[in-house]
Structure 1
Amino acid sequence: MKEIIYHGSDHIIEKPEYGLGATTNDYGRGFYCTKSLELAKEWACGKGSDGFANKYELDLDELKVINLNQEPYNILNWLAVLTKHRTYWQNSSISAEAKAYLQEHFYVDISDYDVVIGYRADDSYFSFAQDFVSGTISLQKLQRAMHLGELGEQIVLISKKAFSHIKYLGNESAESSIYYNQKNDRDKRAKQAYRSEKNITANLDELFILDIMRGNIQNGDPRLQ
């Protein structure tokens, strides 16, 4: 199966290189892409300058792909991976314990895979995840929040093998006068919707991180449904 994917950048990348990128990105070092041309252009202009949406064909045949947004995985698996790589988190009395619990009971070793698919914890999305880990919002509110702003999924090439399965097809320019504002507007809409959602009183059946830890909830627990 072949997919068309895009990578937003301030320069043209005809040959993506394995082993580059920060270890503190969502899934560690890798080549971060999206199926959305519009999102790629927004990411390309993230610093307020013009950029490019580099276009590629990714041949997924013979590649091991893990999609953290599909069963048997749940949002806590994604969050455990995120807490493993992202270094800055809100300080609270339970954040450190929460991160340790998530990594012990929900962490998925993605190093065995070639490609990772999952949420992009960018801007507002990362703040939503932080609120859950610090005990401010319930699991149910986090799940709803991750669809606000329609930031979509990211496709990340993380193995050397994956980089041999990608073919450069060209690029489209991204004007910061359009896409920088569009990116900020998308994030602003997500934050506004989140504030409204956050102010809604939690249902007694909703799970907070303390409930998950006290109840020793792990993968496959029906309470996560």
Structure 2
Amino acid sequence: MMSDKKYLFNGKDISINVYVQIRTVVNVIMERTQKTFMEAVEIFYDSETYKQLQHTENGFWAESPDYIADEFFRERMNDRCRNKEGNNMEKILYHGSSMIVSEPEIRKARYTKDFSWGFYCTERRKQAETWSIRHSEIGYLNIYEFRERSDLKIKHFSTTDSEWLDFIAKCRNGGIHEYDIVEGPMADDTIYNYVEDYLDDKITKDDFLQLAKFKHPTHQISFHTIKALSCLEFIKAEEVHDEDE
């Protein structure tokens, strides 16, 4: 898998780091798909995720192998949905919980979340697995098929930009919105701290946008109405164990 290509980041040669990352991601693909090494290499090299990994200035190469592999599998799933329907109206979503959630519901909690009260899922399997064991040694990865309806009011955020930040600030301060579904980035621990600093007036909006520029947030999609929840079909739940325990 080694080649003569040199990868640079801020003027520093990071070729070994990138090659090791690529090999580790291929190993993850092999483990999840039971494909041979060469088969895994072939499908990964043919992906947009691999192409994104080549552009080292975006910092994507520094993410964890599981994060990059999740991006790859999310890309593959979306491609299959487009091929099946001729559009991008169907996808697989995950919800991590301490229990099996065969019938999702909207619960009003003590604290509001990024997109207000709702039922939250993600396209990233690994992310949902982590959610499921936050407070216990055993959790459940709930898997759903999501089929979008044309009569839904949906808000999409593609990045952690100014509009995304304003929306989160409004929701976390108790504000509500008119959307059935909201989809967009979910702040990791680092970006979450930046958001908190912004809400506490410790940094300006421009400071936040600059700090978050090279971070790669995870994904969340939230369902806020009964009509939105009707688009989710429960497939199954898989038990998840905390391997650190």
Structure 1 length normalisation: TM-score? 0.59
1:29 partnered with 2:117: yes
The residue number in structure 2 matching 1:142 is 209
Tell me how far 1:147 sits from its aligned partner: 5.4
Equivalent residue, structure 2, for 1:6? 94
1:165 and 2:231 are equivalent in the alignment:
yes
Q: Tell me if 1:66 matches 2:155.
A: yes
Give the Cα separation in 2 of the matches to 1:154 and 1:75: 15
1:85/1:110 CA distance change after superposition, 3 Å: closer
**For residue 57 of structure 1, what is the amino acid of its counterpart?**
E
Equivalent runs, 1:55-204 vs 2, <5 Å: 55-62=143-150, 63-69=152-158, 75-87=161-173, 110-111=177-178, 113-121=179-187, 123-133=189-199, 134-136=201-203, 139=206, 142=209, 145=212, 148=215, 150-177=216-243
With normalisation by structure 2, the TM-score equals 0.55
- Could you give the per-residue CA deviations for residues 151-193 of structure 1, whole angstroms, max 9, x where no partner exists? 4120111111011111001122221225x9xxxxxxxxxxxxx
Q: Does 1:49 find its partner at 2:137?
A: yes
CA contact 2:195–2:208 (8 Å) conserved in 1: no
> SS in structure 2 opposite 1:139?
helix
Output the CA distance in 1 between the equivalents of 2:158 and 2:210. Answer: 11
Deviation at 1:146, TM superposition (A): 6.4
The percent of aligned pairs where both chains have the same amino acid is 30
**Cα separation, 2, equivalents of 1:8 and 1:65:** 22
Query: CA 1:26–1:141 in structure 2 vs 1: closer, same or farther (change >3 Å)?
Result: closer
Distance 1:77 1:39 in 2: 24
Task: Return 5+ residue gaps in structure 2 as ranges.
Answer: 1-88
Cα gap change, 1:158/1:43 in structure 2, threshold over 3 Å: closer, same or farther? same
* Contact 1:66–1:110 (Cα < 8 Å) also in 2: no
Q: How many residues are aligned here?
A: 154
Taking the aligned partners of 2:225 and 2:234, their CA distance within structure 1 comes to 17
Deviates more, 1:166-175 or 1:115-124: 115-124
How far did residue 122 of structure 1 move? 5.1
Q: CA deviation at 1:47?
A: 2.0
Conservation of the 8 A alpha-carbon contact between 1:44 and 1:53: yes
3-state SS, counterpart of residue 243 of structure 2: helix
Q: Which structure has the bigger radius of gyration?
A: 2
Change in 2 beyond 3 A, CA 1:147/1:52 = farther
Q: What's the C-alpha RMSD, in Å, of the aligned pairs?
A: 2.8
Residue 107 of structure 2 corresponds to 20
CA positional deviation for 1:29: 1.3
Provide the rounded CA distance (Å) in 1 between the counterparts of 2:220 and 2:163: 16
How far apart in 2 are the matches of 1:146 and 1:177? 33
